[in-house]
Amino acid sequence: MYTEQEVDLATAVKEWKEAGEVYVSFETLETKMTGQDRAEVRVAYKCTVSGPGKPYSADAPEPGEWWRVARVNGVWRVCWMPRR
């Protein structure tokens, strides 16, 4: 989820399947518009990753993390960004 490299969808899907990421919980806490087609959302979550490699978890408890989102062809999408 947190990468600075842009990859094609097929590669991303393959990597997501290999990682086995599972969001145990996910909550949107706050939204702020930063432009007509840009916004930021503050989220809290618990995520487990099963592989490849050693399993681990990634949590963002309250107060959460801000994620940048953009509207592309009418659909809001999370922008790739390094973890803050």
Name the token pair of 55: 């399993």
Segment 63-72, tens digit of pLDDT: 999 998 999 8
Segment 13-40, tens digit of pLDDT: 888 788 787 888 889 999 999 999 999 9
Q: CA nearest 28: which of 45, 5, 11?
A: 45
DSSP 14-74: HHHHHHT-EEEEEEEEEEEEEETTEEEEEEEEEEEE--SSS-EEEEEEEEEEEEEEEEETT
- What are the residue boundaries of the structural domains of the chain, listed by start? 9-78
Q: What percentage of the chain has pLDDT greater than the value 70?
A: 87
Work out the pLDDT band at 84, boundaries 50, 70, 90: very low
Distance separating the N- and C-terminal Cα atoms of the chain: 12
